[in-house]
Amino acid sequence: MKKAIISVSVILILAFSLIGTIDRTPLKSTEEYKKTFLNVAETIKELEQQVSTDDTLQIGWAKECIIPKGVPLPVAGYGFRTQYRAVRDSLYARAFAFDDGIRQTYVLSLDLMIFPTEVRKRLGEKLLNIGITEEDVLFSATHTHNGMGGFDPSLLGNIAMGIFSEEGTSKIVASAYQAILNAKASKQKGSVGFLKTQSPEWVTNRIVYNGRKENSIRGIKINRVDGKNAAIVTYNAHPTHINMNYWILSRDYPGEWINHLEASKTIDFAAFCAGMVASHGPGDPKHIEDSFERIKDMGSVLSDSILHIWDKTQTNAVVNVDIHKIPIDFRPSQIRIESNLKVRDWVFKSASDGGLQGDITLMRIGNIDWFACPSDFSGEIALDYQFDRVAHQQNKEFMVTSFNGNYAGYITCDAYYDSLNSYEIREMNWVGPEYGAYFGEIIKELLEN
């Protein structure tokens, strides 16, 4: 009897130390919320004090392969997978340098599932050698589910992204650094414009049957005086066309899209940044059975959509370009076991790279407000907060991308938190209720100012 009591006591102590209850305190009443909006207010002050340029913008770009030769790396995507068996198409770091005569800023996108925190940290240290900090760079990723993994040394990273590889991680950092260096060196005078069109047939709501979806293709058009043109494009469909049984490296549909753009007579260089992909999957309007034929078709259609509006899109040569990173205060993590029970925050911190952290990045290019989130961000939030309407009231355009160098899970509509049992809402919401509104209000506040 005594042994049974001791056993039960040990189990209860363990359960209490590992498991807690979901915190449903209204987020607006928390210190975390108040601190974050103080950060937002401080950023708005900085924006108001920004000195305007009167110089022609200079723009450069470059890419570098990130796959190390002869290193057995895992495939990241669809859960734990081990070594890739073939390379269908190469993976790259693609960089853009912008110089408005006062400030130098950069965009860096990786052909990976996320932009790894470990890569961001190491790259930030290297960039100091050339007078750049990570505060000067907007980070993103294509979110391919057939990129290489092994880039996260934490326990959670080893489980989700494959066994950590020092060689693989070092190669990504070195290639990203070289791409930025080459982009910086290749700057020429140029101009920028905002690209926007729709492609509703190639995106679906993957958590609600026939649910709402944000259909837009958005991007940045770049013309240079040397006759070279480039584009940065974004779309909201997950790159998950390639069947999970193919253990290969591939950029999925974003790679085909970029290939088509660069093969055209119009665009010399292009990059893709994953958009508002949470809750959004890729469409299949032609019901093509073969994964690879499907991504080729999707890439071709999306490319044609951009090329169709290219000549109609005006560009400006004298614009301000700047980056601001607004730190987000997170409540303790809330990874759910069931509706009202969660794993305690100390467990998540121990398994991850220190727990929830990150910022919302705002890159302002003339009248374009580009927001980059530390998460999968849902296009449904953009619909709820009517970001297009808010932006147009301020004579602005907007775009939102995901995976900005930190990762806090999925940010989706709060209405789903207690009503849906999907993977995105249950397992991948690490932050708890009301964070869709939290992120939505941050972006809306910045758009309005």
Known binding positions for Zn(2+): 143, 238
How many C-beta atoms surround the C-beta of residue 30 within 10 A?
A: 16
Joined together, the tokens standing for residue 185 give: 């060196």
What does the DSSP assignment read for 387-417?
A: HHHHHHHTT-EEEEES--S---BEE--GGGT
Q: How far is CA 35 from CA 28, 119, 303, 331, 404, in A?
A: 11, 28, 42, 11, 21
- How many Cβ atoms from other residues are within 10 Å of residue 29's Cβ? 8
| Single-letter amino acid code for the residue at 212 | R
Binding residues: 143, 238
Rounded to whole angstroms, how far apart are CA atoms 64 and 133? Answer: 20
Return d(Cα 328, Cα 325) in angstroms, integer.
9
DSSP letter assigned to residue 331 = P
With a CB cutoff of 8 Å and minimum separation 6, the contacts of 334 are: 22, 23, 342, 429, 430, 431, 432
Q: Evaluate whether 370 touches 364 at the Cβ level (below 8 Å).
A: yes
Decide if 175 contacts 66 (C-beta within 8 A).
Answer: yes
Q: Report how far residue 329's alpha carbon sits from residue 312's, in angstroms, rounded to the nearest whole number.
A: 42
CA-CA distances (angstroms) from residue 368 to 174, 196, 222, 362, 393? Answer: 30, 12, 13, 10, 13
Alpha-helical (H) ranges within 282-362 are 291-310, 345-351
Here the tokens at position 132 are 């750049």
